[in-house]
Chain A
Amino acid sequence: GENVEQHPSTLSVQEGDSAVIKCTYSDSASNYFPWYKQELGKRPQLIIDIRSNVGEKKDQRIAVTLNKTAKHFSLHITETQPEDSAVYFCASSPHSGNTPLVFGKGTRLSVIA
């Protein structure tokens, strides 16, 4: 079955700097890659997702890149702010419509003001 590895497990950056979180997956059939953000005490929320027919997607300060050949995808946050501090989870899922997500172990991002 699918296996998702996520690095780093913790990340501290200065406010205004960029943060990058990387994930690899094992199942070449996986075609959907969402990123979830979980703030302390709150529910995981989708912040961005990408499908295999594109290599990059941006939404304001957040971008995700996908390399299907190498089976890895990354989350990029630019101009980090204290409110970006949270646990970020990458996930993957085969493109069959309703299949469950396979998650990485999460990255705890701390943005230091």
Chain B
Amino acid sequence: EAGVTQFPSHSVIEKGQTVTLRCDPISGHDNLYWYRRVMGKEIKFLLHFVKESKQDESGMPNNRFLAERTGGTYSTLKVQPAELEDSGVYFCASSPLRGTMGNTEAFFGQGTRLTVV
């Protein structure tokens, strides 16, 4: 079974440009999460999809970030326009949907390292 895959693995862009990150979750996983790790800091939550719906976007830094998950399959995270402080590693994770059974393992992708210069 394929794991969570993310594209691209690395991206270097200039300040003011646009970048789109993609995440393909494990097939059948309705939960999809975006996280970001700035160097030396915690892995910080950005956004949670359940199928195609945004369940929680409280972690999105500002309106320069736009996430979509059309059809409830893969997701994209667009940063427009990118700023220097957006640099970091963006992780995507997915997990099966659980009701009241409690959290289960979240499977992570390898991340996209974004560098804004």
Verify if B13 is at the interface (C-beta below 8 Å from A).
no
Verify if B71 is at the interface (C-beta below 8 Å from A).
no
- Contacts A97-B102, A98-B50, A98-B98 given: A44-B91 contact, CB under 8 Å? yes
- Return the contact of B103 from the options A41, A44, A99, A105 (Cβ within 8 A): A99
- Contacts A34-B105, A49-B105 given: A98-B31 contact, CB under 8 Å? yes
Verify if A73 is at the interface (C-beta below 8 Å from B).
no
Q: Which residues of B contact A44 (CB under 8 A)?
A: 43, 91, 108
Interface residues of B, CB < 8 Å — how many? 32
Interface size grouping (class) on chain A: 20 to 34
What's the Cα separation between A31 and B102 when bound, in Å? 9
Distance between A8 CB and nearest chain B CB, rounded to angstroms: 13
What's the Cα separation between A9 and B73 when bound, in Å? 36
Contact B95 A98 (CB under 8 A): yes
- Contacts A98-B95, A100-B33 given: A36-B42 contact, CB under 8 Å? no
What's the Cα separation between A24 and B104 when bound, in Å? 21
24 A-B interface contacts by CB (under 8 A): A6-B42, A31-B102, A36-B108, A43-B108, A44-B91, A44-B108, A46-B107, A51-B102, A89-B43, A91-B43, A97-B98, A97-B99, A98-B55, A98-B98, A100-B33, A100-B45, A100-B56, A101-B33, A101-B45, A103-B42, A103-B43, A105-B41, A105-B42, A106-B43
Which residues does A use to contact B, with CB under 8 Å? 4, 6, 31-32, 34, 36, 41-46, 49, 51, 89, 91, 93, 95-106
